[in-house]
Chains A and B, each alone.
Chain A
Amino acid sequence: GIQVEQSPPDLILQEGANSTLRCNFSDSVNNLQWFHQNPWGQLINLFYIPSGTKQNGRLSATTVATERYSLLYISSSQTTDSGVYFCAPRGGATNKLIFGTGTLLAVQP
């Protein structure tokens, strides 16, 4: 099955800093979502991005499907950005998402 690696595993930022999170996947995918999991466990959809680039406010994401990676950019970070960020590609006929182990982000004031 598809293997997903995310880096870095942990990241500490000062408020206002920018960051790039990376997701590598081992096989072709037909879907990829980025999620933010808040401290209460809720997975919040950030992007649905099987290929190309999308932007939503301070966040943007790029997926290069042919090279099997996706990047999530966070600009001007805020303390509310803290939490775990997961990328989850999907391959095959079902809706099964394959999650990596995530990037734990802590934004300090």
Chain B
Amino acid sequence: ETGVTQSPTHLIKTRGQQVTLRCSSQSGHNTVSWYQQALGQGPQFIFQYYREEENGRGNFPPRFSGLQFPNYSSELNVNALELDDSALYLCASTDGGLQYFGAGTRLSVL
């Protein structure tokens, strides 16, 4: 049990739509990171939030955006969905340098 929960577990969207994925981490974990994992690949870093501010970003376009809230929950928003956005999206919270991952949201874009 990592203490990180994500919702929904599965989601199907069509190209061009927008999607919001949610993550809830443990109290006191001030840093949350989001990763995208395509089939057969390792997770790729999207961005990181610390105390509600983005403070690190991977090689993802601006249509990937996020929010972090004071209650240790966070969101990943993706606009104008493309077929290649189909992937497992993972949220991780950090405690003492160790990252704990949620079970992920599997997004399918048709």
Tell me, yes or no, whether A binds B: yes
The reply on B103 being an interface residue by CB < 8 A is: yes
CB interface residues, A 9-59, toward B, < 8 Å:
31, 33, 35, 40-43, 45, 48
The reply on B65 being an interface residue by CB < 8 A is: no
Q: A99's contact among B43, B55, B94, by CB below 8 Å, is which?
A: B43
Main SS of the interface on chain A?
A: loop
Given contacts A33-B98, A42-B103, contact A94 B42 (CB under 8 A): no
Main SS of the interface on chain B?
A: strand
Q: A48's contact among B31, B55, B98, by CB below 8 Å, is which?
A: B98
- A99→B101 contact, CB < 8 A: no
The reply on B97 being an interface residue by CB < 8 A is: yes
Chain B residues with Cβ below 8 Å from A102 are 42
Number of A-B residue pairs at CB separation under 8 A: 62
Q: How far is the CA of A94 from the CA of B58 in the complex (A)?
A: 11
Chain B residues with Cβ below 8 Å from A74 are none
User: Which of B33, B45, B56, B88 gathers most chain A CB within 10 Å?
Assistant: B45
Chain B: how many interface residues by the 8 Å CB criterion? 27
CB interface residues, B 22-71, toward A, < 8 Å:
31, 33, 35, 37, 40-45, 48, 55-56, 58
Q: How far is the CA of A95 from the CA of B99 in the complex (A)?
A: 8
Q: B94's contact among A95, A98, A100, by CB below 8 Å, is which?
A: A95
Other A-B pairs beyond A40-B103, A95-B31, A100-B42, 6, CB < 8 Å? A42-B101, A43-B43, A45-B2, A93-B56, A98-B45, A99-B35
Q: Mark B residues whose CB is within 8 Å of A.
A: 2, 31, 33, 35, 37, 40-45, 48, 55-56, 58, 88, 90, 92, 94, 97-101, 103-104, 106
Q: Mark A residues whose CB is within 8 Å of B.
A: 4, 31, 33, 35, 40-43, 45, 48, 86, 88, 93-102
28 interchain pairs, CB-CB under 8 A: A4-B42, A31-B97, A33-B99, A40-B103, A42-B101, A42-B103, A43-B101, A45-B2, A45-B99, A45-B101, A48-B97, A48-B98, A86-B42, A88-B43, A93-B56, A94-B56, A95-B31, A95-B33, A95-B92, A95-B94, A95-B97, A97-B35, A97-B45, A98-B45, A99-B35, A99-B43, A100-B42, A101-B41
